[in-house]
Homo-oligomer: A and B are copies of this chain.
Amino acid sequence: MGSHFESCERLLEPLRKLLGIRQLALQRAQHGNELSTSGTGLLSELVHGGESRASELAHNRVVDTSVVSRQLGQLEQEGLIERRPDPTDRRVSLLRATERGRAALEERERQKARWLSEVVLSEWDESRLTELDGLLRALSDDLLTASRQLLTNPEDAAKEGNR
């Protein structure tokens, strides 16, 4: 019963609170600009990660390909991304953000960063922010990889949890 477990137990509460915040609530508040709420994450991935195929995006976000497919369709209609056929495999399309997409994302990120900086985290000093950043990156990475793993081989439940 190491206290590592207990520390994780304590973590549940803030974690639940944090994950419970649907992006929606925040994004809906930051209304006003184009850019359909949902696809933002995808668009961001494309802008920062460069040209990708749909399946990559789905894998990164740990979400069904069908979800990505529809979101991409919407983004494309809005002219925020464009596709071109992959020359080496005609089943796949390569996706990238358009200039408009890039601009829209930048605008939204600026807005959000300002809200964070001026309202949410105004009391936080530099060093604390840096610390948070580091831990958050590590956490989200570990959480995402663990989720992926869970999703692909769910024999994890054989841990005793089911019996």
Interface, chain A (partner B; CB < 8 A): 3-5, 7-23, 25-26, 29-32, 40-41, 44, 48, 61-62, 109-121, 123-124, 126, 128-133, 135-140, 142-144, 146-147, 149-151, 154, 156-157, 159, 161-162
* Copies of the protein in its oligomer: 2
Q: Report if A130-B19 is in contact (Cβ < 8 Å); known contacts: A29-B147, A109-B12, A161-B111.
A: no
CA distance A137 to B15 in the complex (A): 8
Q: Report if A11-B116 is in contact (Cβ < 8 Å); known contacts: A25-B62, A139-B132, A143-B18.
A: yes
Q: Report if A26-B109 is in contact (Cβ < 8 Å); known contacts: A132-B139, A136-B11, A142-B121.
A: no
Contact assessment for A7 and B41 in the assembled complex, using a CB-CB cutoff below 8 Å: no
CA distance A97 to B23 in the complex (A): 28
CA distance A151 to B116 in the complex (A): 15
Residues of B within 8 A of A132 (CB): 11, 135, 139
Q: Report if A139-B10 is in contact (Cβ < 8 Å); known contacts: A5-B114, A129-B4, A157-B32.
A: no
How far apart are A157's CB and chain B's nearest CB, in angstroms? 6
Residues of B within 8 A of A159 (CB): 114, 118
Contact assessment for A29 and B131 in the assembled complex, using a CB-CB cutoff below 8 Å: no
Contact assessment for A21 and B119 in the assembled complex, using a CB-CB cutoff below 8 Å: no
How far apart are A111's CB and chain B's nearest CB, in angstroms? 6
Q: Report if A16-B41 is in contact (Cβ < 8 Å); known contacts: A62-B21, A136-B11, A161-B111.
A: yes
